[in-house]
Structure 1
Amino acid sequence: MANKLAYGAHENFTNRELSWLDFNYRVLDEARDKSVPLLERVNFLGITQSNLDEFFSVRVASITKLVSFNYHKPDASGLTAKQQLSKINQKAHQMLTKQYTTYNRSLLPALNQVEIHLKEINELSNEQYAFVREYFHDELFPVLTPMADDSSRPFPFISNDSLNLGIRLTKKDESQKHNYYSVLAIPTSLGRLIKLPEADNDFILIENVIKEFIGQFFIGYLPQTIVTFRVIRDLDLDVAEEDTSDFIKKVQQQLRQREHGRVMRLEVESSIDSRTKKRLLKKLDVAEQSLYEINGPLDLGFLKKWSGMISGHDDLRYPSFKGYGSENLSQGYNIFKAIAKKDQFMHYPYDSFDPVIEFIRQAAFDPQVLAIKMTLYRVSGSSPIIKYLGNAARNGKQVTVLVELKARFDEKNNVHWAQQLEKMGCHVIYGLLGLKTHSKLTMVIRKEESGIRRYMHLGTGNYNDATAHFYTDMGLFTSRNDIGEDVANIFNMLSGYSEPPYFHQLHISPDGIRKFITAKLNAAIDLAGKGQEIQIFMKMNSLSDKKIISKLYEASHAGVKIDLLVRGICCLKPGRPKISENITAHSIVGRFLEHSRIYAFTTQGQTEIYLSSADMMTRNLDRRVEQLFPILDPEIKQEVINIYQHMWNDNIKTRELKANGHYEKIDRRGKESLDSQEYFMTQANKKTKVQAKARKELQDQSRFQPFSAPRPTLDSSTESESGK
C-alpha cells in the first residue's frame, strides 16, 4: 500500500503555469490544423495572442511579485517562483517561434492563394501607394505626436498593449554623428488595419504606413532605426477590502492606476539594433528574459479583427449555427408553467440562451411576480438582462442584483452596470468581504393560487448573451422547493448576515464544494476497498488544487476508475504507476470554448450527476462563492450522461494527456470519427427542423377552411338531361 503522503509528492504534479501554456499550444494547434476553415485558423492564431497577453498581465505578474518578495516556497510541482518565471519565459519564447512560423509559412501563403493579402509597402500598386500617402497626410499626420527622449525630455510613458515606434536618428548637418531618440505612439482610434483600393481583400498595417512617411516628422534628421515595440504590464487588480463602504470608488481608482503596472513582457521587431534594444530595456526596466524579438507584425491579436473584415469567402469560415430554441420556453408561452410542470435543461450554445433572457423578461412584466434575485459576474456590453431587470424594478418588483466588481477585466463594465441598475431602482450588492461571487443563480418569486412559489435558474456559465454563442455551458430551470430554499438562503447570505446551518441540495464554496467532493471521493475509496466497481467522471476548465488531486490519486490507487475532461490547466499526471493508473485525462479544444462543469459518481449502476460554476482550483474552492447542484430529473440526468459520453468518445478535437505530460491526439484507426461539437450542432439542427415541422402541421390543421356543401348525387334523368 502506497504511503498517503506520496500522493502529494512534487513529481506527481505539473506546474500550473506551464500547464496553461500547454493549453495555449492546443489552441495554436487549431491554427495549424488544415481541416479547420482557413479564416477560423487565422482567428485561432489571434486567440493565442490575446490568451498569452492576459496570462502575462495576471499570472506572470503574480509570480514576478513573489520573486520580488524573495518568496522561496515551492509550488506543488516543486518549482520556486524564480524557477517558474525562468521556465515560463523559456516555453513562451518557444511558443512565439511556433506562432510566427504558423503565421509566415502557413497562413499568409494560404491567404494569398485565395486573393486575401496583407501587403508590405513595396508590394503596393501605384494607386494603392497614392492612397496610403493621402491617408497618412489626411488621417494620420494630424493625430501623431513624436516624443523626444533626451536629457530635457524624459522617456514617455508607454501604456499597456499599445503599439509604439522606437526611432533612432542622426542630424543631417552634424560632422560627428550623435544618436537622438524618439518614441511615437500609434493611435488605436483609427484601427490597426487599413483597407486598400483596387482589390476586395487587400490590407496594410497602420504601422507600416507610418514608417514609410515618418521622416516628415523629423525635418533635418535622418531616421536610422524604426522599430515597432509594445509592452504587457501587470494588470492584476489589488483592492483592499477592509472597508467596503466606498468599494466601487476603490475599484475605479485601481482601474486608473492599473495601466502603470510593471512591465512583464517587452516585444520588439527582430530588426532592432543593439543600441535601441539596450535603451528600451533600461528605460522600461525589463529583464533580458522578458524581451521577445519577433519576426513579423507585433500583437497577432489583430488577426481576430482581420478575419471579420474580409468580405465574402463564407466557404473559409465555420457554417453559421443557431441553437435550438424550445417552443415552451419562448416568447408567447408561459415559461413559469413549463418550469412548474418539469425541470428544464439547456446545453448552450446547442440550445439557445434566449430562454434565460425570456425568463427575466416575463418576470419583469408578470403581475404575479413579486421579486427577482440574481448574481452577475460577467455580462455583455449591451445586456438585455440588465434592461429587463430595470423594467422589473420600475414595475414595482423587488429586484436584488449582486454585481461582482472584481471580475477580472470586466471591472469597468460591471461598475457601469452596477451604477445603471441602481439608477433604475434595483438593489445592488457587491458580495462578501474578501470573496469573489462566481456563482450563477437567478430566483424569481411568484404569487400563485397555491401560494408563494420560487422559480430558479442555475448555471455553469455567465449570464452573458454574447459569449453564450461560443462557450459551452449548461443551465437548469427548476421550481423544486428544496432547491428554492437553498437558493433563497444563498441570497440571504450574500445580502445580509445569514449563515444557513445546512443546505438541502446545493453545495456552496467556500468550503462546501471541497467538503462534498472530498466526501464523495472518500466514499468511492471505501466502496472500492470492498470490491465494488466505482466510476467517476468529471468535466471542468481547470484542475489544479493539490488536495483534490491527491484525493483523486488515492481513489485511483484504491481501484476507482476516473475519467477527466479538463479543457485547460491540468496539474494532475495520469497513468503513473500505483498513483494514477486508473485515471484518464482528455482535453477538447474546438470551435466552441468548453466551459461547463460536470461532476458524476457511479456506484452499483446508479449515477449521481452534479453541475457547478466551480472548477477544481484552490481559488474556486476556498476564495469564491460558487454553487454545485444536482440533476434530479431522470430524463435530464440521462441527457447529461449522454452528453458526457459523446464528449469522451470525441476523437477529432480531443487530446489525451499522457503520463509524460504531453498531449496527443486520439488514435482513430478502426474507429468511427466523432467531433462531439459537430455532433451536438447536428442534433440541435434536427430538433429545430422537427419542431418547425410540427408547428407547421399544427398551423395547417387549425387554418380556417370555408364550408362547402357536398356535391349532389346525380340521378339518371339529370344525367340524360345534362347529356343533351
Structure 2
Amino acid sequence: MSAAKKNLHNSHTYINRELSLLEFHKRVLAQAKDSCHPLLERFKFLIIFSSNLDEFFEIRVAGLMKQLDLKLITSAPDSIPNEVILQQISETAHRAVEEQYKILNQTLLPELQNYGIRFIQFNDILERHHEWIKNHFFKQIQPVVTPISLDPAHPFPRLVNKSLNFIVSLEGQDAFGRHIDLAIVPAPRSLPRVVRLPDELCPKGEQHYILLSAMIQYYVNDLFPGMTATGCYQFRVTRNADLTLAADVDDLAIALKDELSSRRFGRAVRLEVDQKCPDKLNNYLLEQFNLTQQELYRVNGPVNLTRFFIDFDIPELNFKPFQPVIPKALRNQNLIFDVLKKEDVLLHHPFDSFQPVINLLREAAKDPHVLAIKQTLYRSGPDSEIVQALVEAARNGKEVTAIIELRARFDEESNIIVANLLQEAGAVVVYGIVGYKTHAKMILIVRREGENLRRYVHLGTGNYHAGNAKMYTDYGLLTTDDDIAEDVHKIFQELTGMGRMAKLKKLFHAPFTLHDQLLHYIEQETQFALSGQPARIIIKVNALTEPQLISALYQASQAGVKIDLIIRSICCLRPQVEGLSENITVRSIVGRYLEHTRVYYFYHNGAEKLYCASADWMGRNLFSRVESCFPIENKKIKKQIIQDGLLSYLKDNTRAWELDANSQWTLTQPKENEEKFMAQKYLITQREIKTKS
C-alpha cells in the first residue's frame, strides 16, 4: 500500500498541532532565562513570548472555541476532542505564564536594576516622584482618559482586543446622587505604556521608567470626584482575531476592510487580570466576557508585556552587532544583470545581505532595457524599498505587475495601503486567487538584450521584507535559468489570468503538483532502502502537520530510510517510536534569528535532489495556498546549502531541542570533551572570515 493511502494516524502516532505550537512558544520563553544570551536579548525573548501567546489565543484557541460554540465535530488526525485540547492548553499556558512573570520579577528586572534600569510600578512610587507624576498625569493622561461608570444607563462597554483597562470598585455618590459600585477605565491606546522619568529624579547614570498603569492607579480617585476608589485593577481581554471572507465576494479589498473593523471586537477567548483583583470582580469580568475560570489568567505584573519593551542603547547588553555581507560575486559590479548572465547567486539571509534584491529592483526600475517586472508581495509595508522601487518602475513606464496577498495575517491593512500606492503609480495590482493565499516568493524581470529578451528571476523562502531579512533565516536564488524563468512566467499567468493548470519543467507548485511530488520522492527513498541502497531524507521547515506526508515518512522509516527533520515550531510526527519511527530524528533550533528556511533534501541513490521552497509541510500550504518549490542544480550552491543550511543545523549541540517519542522537547548539551557548536554562530563567523579575506 502506498504511503499516500495508508493511514497511520491516531492519538498515539500524531501529536496535536495546537499543543505542539504551544511547546514551541515555551522554547522561546526558555531563551529568556538562558544566561548565555545578553540580558536585553533575554528581555526581548520574554516580550516575543507574550506576542506569540497573544496570536496563539487570537487564532488557534479562538478557532477551537468557535468550533465548540458551533458544536462542530472535527476530525483531526490526533482524534482528541476539542474540549480536552482546550483543557490541556489552559493547564500548559497557565504554567508558562506563571513562569514568564517569575522570570520577569525574580531575574530580569533585578538584573536590569544592576545596570541602572528600573521600571517603576504602583508599589515602587516614592515621595520624590509625586510632583512629576502629578504634573504628568493631569497634563498628559487625565485629559484623554474616559472613565465609564457601570449602571443601567451605562452598560459594560465594548472593549477593544488586547487593550489595557482597569476595573474600579467605588464608594459614595456621584454628582447626580447615584450610588455606583463599579467603573471601567480604558487606558487610551494613543498613550505610551512606559514613560521615562527625568534624569534629576534618578540616581546619577541610571534610567528609570514609570508604567502608565501605575500613574492611572495612583490618581484613580481624581477620575471620580466626590467618590472613593476602594480598588483599581488592570485587566486585558484577548479576542478572536481571525478573519473570515466569503468565497463569492465581489471586491476582496473592500470585503477585507469591513472584516478588519470587526477583528477588534471578536469573541473573547482569554482574560488577564492583576493577581490582586478580588474573586468577586474576576467573576464579574468573566461573566461579561462569557468566559470561565479556565480562560482566566491572574498575572503578577503588567497585563500587556508586549508594550513593556524599551529599545535601550546599551551595546554590552545586546548581541554583538553583525553586518550582513554582500556575496563576493556581487561586489564591485556595475550591474547585477551582468553578474547573473554568468552565474546564479545564492543569498542566505540574514548572514547575506538583502540589499542585492533591493538593488536588482532599483536597477530594473531605471534600466531603459527592462520592459516588465512581476512580483509577489506577502508582507511588505508602504515604506519598503521594494515597494518604492516598484512604484518608480511603474512611473518610468515599465510594465509592473504586483500580486499582493491582502490576507497575510495581521498585515492586511498595510497590504491594502501598498496596493493603493502601486495602483496610483500605474502598476497592475492583482489580489491573487480567492480561497488560495498567494504565499510564493517570486520576482520576474524581462529585459531586452539585443534582439532577444532575457528573464531574470528571484525565488525565495521568505518574504520581501527587509526588516524580516535581518531577523529571519531565509534563502533566495537569483538566476537566469531559461526553464526556471519559463516556469515562473507560467505561475504568474495562473495568478493573473484564467486557464488550465500550467505544466512546469523544473518547479513544483501548490496547490497542484508539490504535494504529490513530495510523496513521490519519499516513496523513492523508501524503495531505495527496501532494495538495500543507502537512503536519506533531510527536511528543514517551520512546521510539519500534513497527515499523508507524515504517514509516508513513517513508512520510509520502517523501510530503513534515515530521516532527519529540522522543524522550527509545530511537529505532529512522533519520532523514535519503536516499530514506527526509530529512524526519524526531530530537532528545533531556537536562537538569535528566527529559523525560516524551507529546504528539502533526498539522497536519491547518490544523485542528491535538493529543493528550496516557500511552503511548509502543512495542509494549508500544500492545498490552500499558491506556493513555489525550486530545484538547486548548481553544484557549488547545492553543496553550500547542504553544508550550511542542513548539516550545520544537525551538528548544533547548544541551541537545538530534540523531540522524543513522548512528545517532550529537551535542549541538547555537548557531550563530554565535545566542543560547543551553534549553527547560527558558525554561519556568522563564516561570513566574517570571508569578509576579511
| Range of TM-score over shorter length | over 0.9
Task: Kindly provide the amino acid, as one letter, of the partner of residue 335 in structure 2.
Answer: N
CA contact (8 A) 2:490 2:502 kept: no
Q: Report runs of 4+ in structure 1 exceeding 6 Å deviation.
A: 1-4
Query: Residue 534 of structure 1 corresponds to which residue in structure 2?
Result: 535
Query: Residue 44 of structure 1 corresponds to which residue in structure 2?
Result: 45
Cα drift, residue 498 of structure 1: 3.3
SS at the partner of 2:603? Answer: strand
Query: Residue 678 of structure 1 corresponds to which residue in structure 2?
Result: 681
Hey, what's the Cα distance between the residues in 2 that align with 1:370 and 1:331?
25
- 1:212 paired residue among 197, 218, 235: 218
- Answering whether residue 648 of structure 2 is matched by residue 646 of structure 1, we say yes
Query: Residue 347 of structure 1 corresponds to which residue in structure 2?
Result: 348
- 1:687 paired residue among 667, 690, 693: 690
Query: Residue 655 of structure 1 corresponds to which residue in structure 2?
Result: 657
1:411-422 correspondence to structure 2 within 5 Å: 411-422=412-423
SS at the partner of 1:405? Answer: coil
Hey, what's the Cα distance between the residues in 2 that align with 1:672 and 1:65?
49
Query: Residue 167 of structure 1 corresponds to which residue in structure 2?
Result: 168
1:107-122 correspondence to structure 2 within 5 Å: 107-122=108-123
Cα pair distance change 1:204/1:77, threshold 3 Å: same
- 1:302 paired residue among 298, 307, 321: 307
Hey, what's the Cα distance between the residues in 2 that align with 1:377 and 1:557?
39
SS at the partner of 1:591? Answer: coil
CA contact (8 A) 2:240 2:266 kept: yes
Cα drift, residue 225 of structure 1: 1.6
* Structure 2 gap segments, 5+ residues each: none
Task: Kindly provide the amino acid, as one letter, of the partner of residue 262 in structure 1.
Answer: R
Query: Residue 270 of structure 2 corresponds to which residue in structure 1?
Result: 265
SS at the partner of 2:235? Answer: strand
CA contact (8 A) 1:15 1:77 kept: yes
- 2:207 paired residue among 201, 211, 215: 201
Task: Kindly provide the amino acid, as one letter, of the partner of residue 150 in structure 1.
Answer: D
SS at the partner of 1:8? Answer: coil
SS at the partner of 1:626? Answer: strand
CA contact (8 A) 2:382 2:421 kept: no
CA contact (8 A) 1:506 1:630 kept: yes
Instruction: Name which of structure 1's ranges 323-332 and 429-438 shifts more when overlaid on structure 2.
Output: 323-332
Cα drift, residue 416 of structure 1: 0.5
- 2:668 paired residue among 666, 680, 683: 666
Deviations 1:598-618 (A, max 9, x none): 000013333111000000000
Cα pair distance change 1:132/1:557, threshold 3 Å: same
CA contact (8 A) 1:507 1:628 kept: yes
**Identical aligned residues as a percent:** 38
Task: Kindly provide the amino acid, as one letter, of the partner of residue 532 in structure 2.
Answer: G
Query: Residue 624 of structure 1 corresponds to which residue in structure 2?
Result: 625
CA contact (8 A) 1:241 1:247 kept: no
Task: Kindly provide the amino acid, as one letter, of the partner of residue 674 in structure 2.
Answer: K
1:434-449 correspondence to structure 2 within 5 Å: 434-449=435-450
Hey, what's the Cα distance between the residues in 1 that align with 2:406 and 2:375?
14
CA contact (8 A) 1:380 1:466 kept: no
- Answering whether residue 228 of structure 2 is matched by residue 222 of structure 1, we say yes
Task: Kindly provide the amino acid, as one letter, of the partner of residue 252 in structure 1.
Answer: K
Cα drift, residue 482 of structure 1: 0.5
SS at the partner of 1:325? Answer: coil
Instruction: Name which of structure 1's ranges 385-394 and 191-200 shifts more when overlaid on structure 2.
Output: 191-200
1:69-88 correspondence to structure 2 within 5 Å: 69-88=70-89
1:7-18 correspondence to structure 2 within 5 Å: 7-18=8-19
Hey, what's the Cα distance between the residues in 1 that align with 2:174 and 2:647?
76
Task: Kindly provide the amino acid, as one letter, of the partner of residue 534 in structure 1.
Answer: A
Deviations 1:50-80 (A, max 9, x none): 0000111111111111111212334211211
SS at the partner of 2:677? Answer: coil
Cα drift, residue 7 of structure 1: 2.1
Query: Residue 567 of structure 2 corresponds to which residue in structure 1?
Result: 566
Task: Kindly provide the amino acid, as one letter, of the partner of residue 680 in structure 1.
Answer: L
Query: Residue 387 of structure 1 corresponds to which residue in structure 2?
Result: 388
CA contact (8 A) 2:122 2:217 kept: no
- Answering whether residue 580 of structure 2 is matched by residue 575 of structure 1, we say no
Deviations 1:532-587 (A, max 9, x none): 11011010000011111111001000110000100000011100011100000110
CA contact (8 A) 1:327 1:333 kept: no
Hey, what's the Cα distance between the residues in 1 that align with 2:178 and 2:160?
31
Query: Residue 260 of structure 2 corresponds to which residue in structure 1?
Result: 255
- The TM-score with structure 1 as length reference comes to 0.92
SS at the partner of 2:88? Answer: helix
Cα drift, residue 258 of structure 1: 1.5
Query: Residue 280 of structure 1 corresponds to which residue in structure 2?
Result: 285
Hey, what's the Cα distance between the residues in 2 that align with 1:443 and 1:5?
40
- The TM-score with structure 2 as length reference comes to 0.96
Deviations 1:366-408 (A, max 9, x none): 1111100000000135101111111111111110000001111
- Answering whether residue 611 of structure 2 is matched by residue 605 of structure 1, we say no
SS at the partner of 2:144? Answer: coil
Hey, what's the Cα distance between the residues in 2 that align with 1:458 and 1:490?
12
Cα pair distance change 1:330/1:2, threshold 3 Å: closer
1:75-154 correspondence to structure 2 within 5 Å: 75-154=76-155
Cα drift, residue 331 of structure 1: 8.0
Task: Kindly provide the amino acid, as one letter, of the partner of residue 289 in structure 1.
Answer: Q
Cα drift, residue 87 of structure 1: 1.4
Task: Kindly provide the amino acid, as one letter, of the partner of residue 494 in structure 1.
Answer: L
Query: Residue 694 of structure 1 corresponds to which residue in structure 2?
Result: none
Cα drift, residue 189 of structure 1: 1.7
Deviations 1:210-269 (A, max 9, x none): 1101101112211112100011111101111313x4211001011112112000111111
Task: Kindly provide the amino acid, as one letter, of the partner of residue 299 in structure 2.
Answer: I
SS at the partner of 1:562? Answer: strand
CA contact (8 A) 1:589 1:654 kept: yes
Deviations 1:138-164 (A, max 9, x none): 111111110111111111111011000
Deviations 1:54-111 (A, max 9, x none): 1111111111111112123342112112222221112111111111111111111211
Cα drift, residue 428 of structure 1: 0.2
Deviations 1:646-677 (A, max 9, x none): 11101111011111111112231232211111
- Answering whether residue 405 of structure 2 is matched by residue 404 of structure 1, we say yes
Hey, what's the Cα distance between the residues in 2 that align with 1:17 and 1:201?
40
CA contact (8 A) 2:62 2:240 kept: yes
Hey, what's the Cα distance between the residues in 1 that align with 2:2 and 2:481?
44
Cα drift, residue 522 of structure 1: 0.9
Hey, what's the Cα distance between the residues in 2 that align with 1:550 and 1:173?
67
Task: Kindly provide the amino acid, as one letter, of the partner of residue 209 in structure 2.
Answer: F
Aligned residues: 684
1:441-520 correspondence to structure 2 within 5 Å: 441-449=442-450, 451-520=452-521
CA contact (8 A) 2:233 2:277 kept: yes
Hey, what's the Cα distance between the residues in 2 that align with 1:210 and 1:483?
60
CA contact (8 A) 1:60 1:264 kept: yes
* Structure 1 gap segments, 5+ residues each: 691-724
Cα drift, residue 323 of structure 1: 0.4
Query: Residue 240 of structure 1 corresponds to which residue in structure 2?
Result: 246
Hey, what's the Cα distance between the residues in 2 that align with 1:420 and 1:177?
53
CA contact (8 A) 1:265 1:286 kept: yes
Hey, what's the Cα distance between the residues in 2 that align with 1:622 and 1:596?
20
Cα drift, residue 122 of structure 1: 4.5
Instruction: From the CA coordinates, give the structure whose radius of gyration is larger.
Output: 1
CA contact (8 A) 1:489 1:498 kept: no
SS at the partner of 1:301? Answer: helix
